[in-house]
Structure 1
Amino acid sequence: MSGRPVDEPTGEGERGGDPPRLWSRDFGLFFTARAVARLGDTMLPVALAAGLLQHGYGAGAVGLAMAATAATFAGLVVFAGVIADRFATRTLMVWADVARLGTQALAAALFFADHVVLWEICAIGLVNGAAGALFQPGVASMVPRLATDVQGANGAVRVAESVAQLAGPAVAGLVVGLATPGGVFAAHAATYAISAVCLLLLRLPPPAPDHRPTGHTPGTFRADLVDGWREFRSRTWLWAVIAVWCLYMIAVWGPTGPLVAAEVVREHGPGAYGLVNSALGAGTVVGGLLALRLRPRRMLRAGAVALTGFAAFPLSVGLGLTVPAMAAGAAVAGAGLSFWGVMWATSVQTQVPPDVLNRIHAYDVAGSLAMMPIGQALAGPAAAALGAEQVLLVSGVTSFVVVISLLAVPAIRGLVRVDPAPAPRAPAPGKAGLVRRE
């Protein structure tokens, strides 16, 4: 937009007229940044639980420390979307990584020194949540700038994040066993350093043309926030999916996590739960790989159909099936959820104009996450009143209701994929100028 800060110098980009590409030097750097950062994020819960419990705190303190990060992230991400649309996105992401590098290094120092005070750990979590909110909007807008094969890029990143999700807790447990929880925090800090370096090394192609009317000038922060909401509300397929997703979070995803853990551990032991959870992660890898190959014309319709597979997870546990059957159900669920995630992310990134994409993605993230704590909080009382198995059966049935609701909206099931045009030619090396960001 006119009047916005300039972005960093660009380097070589895609040449106009080239067929869609996935792998390149720059996408490889972004891919590495996301995979390494995700690995660190999945190590953190193990470090927090082990570290706080070792220092005499209980499960409630662990939950409070985790909630500090999650609540701050959810509360600030919409505002961060406006900031990301007003300033250079890559710069904000790098500074967010630097901030989290500092906080996790501080946490490591506290644990190494055996000086662990709960309010200090929660304060670190608050800063982490704010930095994460500042970082998140750029994740969506970076993908279409770095790869013309947007769906393939999302599929590749989903596979990497799924593998990290599988490996992270195991690596964290190994580090805690060989060293201390402080070692995990130090490793987590290092992942943010790697992410920041990868982002700094990116050679960003020129931004897409501005979609705003000629002569538009950016307004106040509040005006841009309202403008983002107007853009969000004007797309029926977008807000309808988020509305349905609120039901999914409250009645399906929120209760499934804690109740599956409790039921499987109680009936079959923690080893069985580890197997089921690993199967869920393996399924997400399969779903990402499928999304790399399958190119449906109506992406949200195909994603919704795949999402029916998630019902197998709560239903297999609620019906009291064998551990192998529950693991199979978890794998099918992970594949369906992962495939839907790629279809959804690609639809948002290719259907929404670049000049509002950060804000739209922020509304998407906030709306998707807002109802999850409610579903988790209601899981216990619902299980006490009805029984955990019955609640899981209801969640499984509701999974089908969610899919039917998605497919019932014409704007969702009829949305046709948009393949972005090849990125414009970047300035020749050595002649890169400053370009205004989208």
Structure 2
Amino acid sequence: MSHDTETLTGEGKPAAGRLWSGNFKLYLTARSGSMLGDAMLPVALSIAVLAAGHGIDGVGYALGAWMGALALFMLFGGVLADRFTPRRMMIIADLVRLVVQGGMAVAFAVGTPSLPTIVVLQFLSGAATALFQPGVASMVPQVAEDVQGANGILRISEAISGVLGPALAGVLVAVAGTGTVFGIYAATYGISALCLFALRLTPVKSTEDSEPSFWRQLVEGWREFAARGWLWGVIAIHLVYGCFVAGVSLPVGADLVVSDYGSTALGIGMAAFGAGGVAGGAVAMRVRPGRPLLSGAIGWALFALYPITPAVGLPVALLVAGWTLAGFGLAYWGVLWSTTVQTQIPTELLNRVYAYDVSGSLLALVLGRSLAGPMASLFGARPLMILATVLGLVCTVLLLAVRSIRDLRSAQ
């Protein structure tokens, strides 16, 4: 089937129900490439900006520009994905990121780019990522009938990328230079675009002539989001959890581990966290609970091990064990949550509703990372990590206390 037969309102599901269909293999390759590139970005960009002489403030501006653009345009990306199909928006986003990060590669290969140049390029990359991300949710049901199994495999790939990406970026900078790293980084988006273009999806009848305005679609997405108590309930609780548990724990926990055990221990701990994510994704592929969010709450409780283990100064072996379980819990929750959203929300609304989900989660994490340093200075790093642990368990209890969340039945 040719690509120009796609409609402007959505794309159908594949006829085959096999998980490892040709479509899913292509989509997995596309997502793995994008996730590896995204995992490389913080390390590659930080080293590049510091090497260019722009200092730690420059690193903050560059990373902040990428994250700020992502947060700013996410909701618009959801509407555009519903209007022009998620695949089209994802391919456009990949091509923009290919050009932008390719521009970074050229800039560092021929000289030292100015900080404003770097900030503008990363803002454009973040804006493109905002166009890409909403379609991630709605594409899974289109390429795999076993949505939960597909989400489990994607979560495993994400965990592996999270470990390999930073390490690969660091090694490549040392061996081949900054320009080469950004060239490889750009290439991951080219691979993603090619794989997405190669997908063979069944079109549905176009409703372009009857589509409401852009702003009306945005408001409609909010109404559908707010009408589902289980959905906004999880996001409301996650605003606290993401900010004061996950958002704070990651930077402060890393600082504590480096201070107490050294950078090697941090590398081992992060590798264990990634390995736990692989295991969590694998288990979530096979466990099919009737009440997925009730079961997924286990993951929130397990992640509370992430802040408490460095806070109490446990031996490295116990730190590794705790972070492995934390990674397991985060991945287990992630698979069940993604599957729930993808199977409970109507296809024609999924991109917009998912955009509100991602925006809320992203806001919490960004705020938490911004507050981590000041709060650690105010309360002390170890007391802050103990507080994060307590809040993590409290949020888990709140998640279980909301009836619409704990009683939600699986749609698969």
What range describes the TM-score normalised by the shorter chain of this pair? over 0.9
1:393 corresponds in structure 2 to 386
Partners of 1:9 and 1:249 lie apart in 2 by 31
Distance 2:244 2:49 in 1: 31
What is the CA–CA distance in structure 2 between the aligned matches of 1:98 and 1:88, rounded to whole Å?
A: 16
Contact 2:134 / 2:354 at 8 angstroms: preserved in 1?
yes
Of 80, 99, 104, 2:101 maps to 104
- Show the counterpart of 2:70: 73
Q: Provide the rounded CA distance (Å) in 1 between the counterparts of 2:364 and 2:30.
A: 29
TM-score, L = length of structure 1: 0.89
Residue in structure 2 matched with residue 248 of structure 1 by the alignment: 241
2:138 corresponds to:
141
Closer, same or farther in 2 for the Cα pair 1:148/1:249, shift >3 Å? same
Aligned to 1:14: 15
1:245-394 superposed matches below 5 A:
245-394=238-387
- The match for 2:88 among 79, 87, 91 is 91
Q: Find the aligned partners of 1:380 and 1:202 in 2 and give their Cα distance.
A: 44
Which residue number in structure 2 is paired with residue 436 of structure 1?
Answer: none
**Equivalent residue letter for 1:265:** V
C-alpha separation in 2, matches of 1:164 and 1:395: 26
Give the Cα–Cα distance (whole angstroms) in 2 for the partners of residues 198 and 179 of structure 1.
27
Query: AA paired with 2:226?
Result: R
Where has structure 1 moved over 3 Å in runs of 4 or more? 7-13
Alpha carbons 2:151, 2:339 under 8 Å: kept: yes
1:118 to 111, 115, 120: 115
Q: Distance in 2 between matches of 1:228 and 1:264?
A: 42
Counterpart of 2:226 in structure 1 is 233
- Structure 1 residues 146 and 12 mapped into 2: Cα distance closer, same or farther (>3 Å)? closer
Residues in 2 aligned to 1:12 and 1:410: alpha-carbon distance in whole angstroms: 32
Distance 2:210 2:334 in 1: 34
Matched with 2:55 is 58
Conserved? CA contact 1:44–1:184, under 8 Å: no
**What is aligned with 2:3?**
none
Shift of 1:115: 2.8
Work out whether residues 300 and 344 of structure 1, in 8 Å CA contact, stay in contact via their aligned partners in 2. yes
User: Match for residue 25 of structure 2?
Assistant: 28
Higher fraction of helix: 2
Please give the residue correspondences for 1:144-223 in structure 2 after superposition, counting only pairs within 5 Å: 144-207=141-204, 217-223=210-216
Structure 1 residues 22-50: Cα deviation after superposition (integer angstroms, max 9, x where no partner): 11000100000001111111112221122
Supply the AA of the counterpart residue of 1:201.
Answer: A
Going from structure 1 to structure 2, the CA distance change for 1:328 and 1:69 (only over 3 Å counts) comes to same
Contact conserved, 1:175 with 1:183, CA < 8 A, in 2? yes
Q: Which residue of 2 aligns with 1:424?
A: none
- Cα distance, 1:8 vs. partner? 11
Give the whole-Å Cα distance in 1 for the aligned partners of 2:369 and 2:41.
20
Q: Counterpart in 2 of 1:432?
A: none
Asked whether the equivalents of residues 146 and 205 of structure 1 are also in contact (C-alpha less than 8 Å), the reply is no
Distance 1:90 1:10 in 2: 8
Distance verdict in 2 for CA 1:303–1:11, change over 3 Å: closer
Would the aligned equivalents of 1:244 and 1:406 in 2 still touch at CA under 8 Å?
yes
1:132 equivalenced with 2:129 (yes/no): yes
Alpha-carbon separation, structure 2, partners of 1:295 and 1:136 = 26
Give the total of aligned pairs: 408
Q: Secondary structure at the match of 2:145?
A: coil
CA distance in 1, matches of 2:159, 2:374: 31
Partner secondary structure for residue 133 of structure 2 = helix
- The CA distance in 1 between the partners of 2:264 and 2:47, in whole Å, is 18
1:326-362 CA-to-partner distances (Å, cap 9, x unmatched) read: 1111110010011000000000000000010000010
TM (normalized to structure 2)?
A: 0.95
The 2-side partners of 1:12 and 1:347 are apart by 17
Which shifted more, 378-387 or 167-176?
Answer: 378-387
The amino acid across from 1:155 in the alignment is: G
Contact kept? 1:155, 1:288, Cα under 8 Å: yes
Distance 2:117 2:49 in 1: 12
* Whole-angstrom CA distance in 2 between matches of 1:354 and 1:72: 26
Choose the corresponding residue for 1:408, options 394, 401, 406. 401
* Counterpart code for 2:350: L
Per the TM alignment, residue 164 of structure 1 is displaced from its structure 2 partner at its CA by 1.2
Q: Give the secondary structure class of the aligned counterpart of 2:232.
A: helix
Change (3 A) 1:129 1:160: same
Q: How far did residue 54 of structure 1 move? A: 1.5
Query: 1:228 is matched by which residue type in structure 2?
Result: G
Q: Which has the larger radius of gyration?
A: 1
Q: Structure 2 CA distance, aligned partners of 1:10 and 1:49? A: 39
Secondary structure in 2 matching 1:371: helix
- The CA distance in 2 between the partners of 1:78 and 1:339, in whole Å, is 26
Structure 2 unaligned blocks of 5 or more: 1-5
* One-letter code aligned to 1:304: A
Residue type of the alignment partner of 2:319: M
Alignment partners' CA distance in 2, 1:117 and 1:146: 42
What root-mean-square deviation, in Å, do the aligned CA atoms of Structure 1 and Structure 2 show? 2.1
